[in-house]
Amino acid sequence: MLDAGLAGRTVLITGSAQGLGAALVRAFHAEGAYVAALERDDVANRALAAGLDPGGKRIRTVHADLRDLAATEEAYRTVRAWRPVDVLVNNAARPSAASLWEITPEEWDEVFAVNLRAVFFLTRAVAGDMRERGHGRIVNMASIAGQTPRPTGAAYGTSKAGTIALSRVFAAELAGDGITVNTVAPAMIDTPMVRSVAPEALAGLTAQVPLGRIATPQEVARVAVFLASEETFVTGATYDVNGGALMR
């Protein structure tokens, strides 16, 4: 079993309350890390934290709406006052299935505000502090939608392609400072959102996966833990967690 060396480290996870975000919180908490769980759904976020860490010793919930840069920066200041961040996981995302012909300017801007703009500015803020300490791990959650063209989800796919490109820029910039930056690109994950898809449609999508099923949130979270581990010689990489749906 991988010893990630994360005990006592502090991990900031965005979009922490449900689905993959909740799995990430559980995975890093299980490694002995302190977790700053950043989320705009306070009720779900606090419920998750209370279930995992009743005494509130190693999980701190923080409210922020990533569409609001000022609020996001204030949330990071709150986290930094608690503990210096060793690992940043940019997980929060605004889904969108609108096609090229359906997407509105308002929806396009909102998707990019959460999925790319917030990733850039939060990463820049956290990385600035990491550089002073000469150490850090940054993991950005992208998607297979950012790697293959699809007629729907124009804004979502483009934002996730941007996440992959942005991660490489940060990786090149920060490599000399002891900071690694990597991306995880899942396909479908077994979350409440995916399970809300009509059964016949879900079956059709699952049939396109060579391994014959969709990923569990825990499987994706474990890849993030590996990329955040102390002993890693990986940076600027994109890890595909898609059951063979895209082979490169």
* pLDDT, position 231: 87
Q: Does residue 187 lie in a domain region?
A: yes
Residue 247 in domain? no
Residue 4 within any structural domain of the chain: no
188 within domain boundaries? yes
Residue 241 pairs in a beta bridge with: 186
Beta bridge partners of 239: 184
Q: How far is CA 63 from the centre of its chain?
A: 16
173 lies in some domain: yes
Using CB atoms within 10 Å of the CB of residue 98, give its burial: 0 to 12 exposed, 13 to 18 middle, 19+ buried.
Answer: middle
- As a whole number of angstroms, the distance between CA 194 and CA 159 comes to 19
pLDDT at 152 over 90: no
**Helical spans, DSSP H, in the chain:** 19-30, 42-52, 69-82, 105-112, 118-133, 154-174, 192-195, 199-206, 217-228
pLDDT band at 2 (very low <50, low <70, confident <90, very high): low
3-state secondary structure of 181: strand
Q: Provide the CATH number for the domain around residue 237.
A: 3.40.50.720
| Count of domains observed in the chain | 1
The residues that are catalytic are 156
Query: At residue 1, does pLDDT exceed 60?
Result: no
CA 145, 45, 62, 66 torsion: positive or negative? positive
- Does residue 3 form part of some domain? no
Q: What is the pLDDT of residues 117-131, one digit of tens each?
A: 999 999 999 999 999
Distance CA 111, CA 128 (A): 25
Question: Between these two residues, 220 and 201, which has the higher pLDDT value?
Answer: 220
**Entry pTM:** 0.95
Per residue in 92-117, pLDDT tens? 999 999 999 999 999 999 999 999 99
Assess if residue 111 is contained within a domain: yes
Amino acid at 126: V
Q: Does some domain include residue 2?
A: no
Show the domain range for 237: 10-241
Task: Give the residues across from 37 on adjacent strands.
Answer: 13, 61
pLDDT in tens, 19-52: 999 999 999 999 999 999 999 999 999 999 999 9
Of residues 103 and 151, more confidence is placed in 103
Q: What average pLDDT does the segment 210-225 reach?
A: 96
